[in-house]
Structure 1
Amino acid sequence: MPATPTDGGSYDGSRLRQIADGFDLEEFRRRNRVALGMDGLYLVTIGFFANMFVRGVWPAAIAAIPMAALLYFGWSSSKPFFLAQLLTIAVVATATVANVVPL
């Protein structure tokens, strides 16, 4: 029996199930070493473009299209990989602005 919220509508948990399906841990268990290596290379590449992106106008212009393409690939691939890309961009951009990471 579905729970009834206070507004009178019904709630079946389908949205929560969709989010949970996007983070299936079985996906990580099925991956082999080559696939994980390729994911690592994608993350290193997106980190390099994120480094370029915060270095000025022209480096950002050069890095924008490949970074958008890699982010689209990550979104199409799986949600955990897309989130790993966003986390990589945030960490590398923060480290670059703090002058911790050289080009």
Structure 2
Amino acid sequence: MSSSSTADRPTDGGDPRLLGGMFDLEEFRRRNAVSLGMDALILVSTGFLAILFTKGFWPSAIAAVPIATLLYFGWASSKGFFVSQLLAIALALVATATYMLPY
């Protein structure tokens, strides 16, 4: 009896992975409302901690460990989530630098 891997299975309409395996459509199909809510909270927390990096040395020092932990979690979770965390950081920094946020 042989085991079938994902490489042995025929695909209908192409490979379900996009951008070299960075975004997996199966990952989005497995998500439920609670996990999407948690992902949104993590992205907001990541953005808030990124804002602290613009406020000086001590706020940056305080935010360094939590943001490193969240980024490691995103990297271990999926590459798509890690990229969305990086986009949240960039968006928070741009919004803070252009005075679109009240911080």
| 1:9-88 aligned within 5 A | 20-88=20-88
**Shift of residue 20 of structure 1?**
2.5
Encode CA deviations 1:76-96: one digit per residue, 9 max, x unaligned: 000000000000000101111
TM value normalised by structure 2: 0.78
Post-superposition shift, 1:102? 1.8
Equivalent-residue separation in structure 1 for 2:27 and 2:20 (angstroms): 12
Q: Whose helix fraction is larger, Structure 1's or Structure 2's?
A: 1
Structure 1 residue 65: deviation in Å?
A: 0.8
* Structure 1: 4+ residue segments shifted above 3 A: none
**TM-score (ref. length: structure 1):** 0.78
Identity of aligned residues (%): 59
Q: Distance in 2 between matches of 1:98 and 1:22?
A: 31
Distance in 1 of aligned mates of 2:21 and 2:97: 35
CA distance in 1, matches of 2:102, 2:50: 12
**Which secondary structure does the structure 2 equivalent of 1:96 belong to?**
helix
| CA distance, structure 2, for counterparts of residue 91 and residue 21 of structure 1 | 24
Q: In structure 1, what is the Cα distance between the partners aligned to 2:39 and 2:61? A: 24
Structure 2 unaligned blocks of 5 or more: 1-16
CA shift at 1:97, angstroms? 1.3
Unaligned runs of 5+ in 1: 1-16
Question: Could you say which residue in structure 2 is the equivalent of 1:9?
Answer: none
Instruction: Tell me the CA shift for residue 22 of structure 1.
Output: 3.0
Query: How many positions carry a matched residue from both structures?
Result: 87
User: 1:27 offset after TM fit, Å?
Assistant: 0.5
State the AA in 1 paired with 2:65.
I
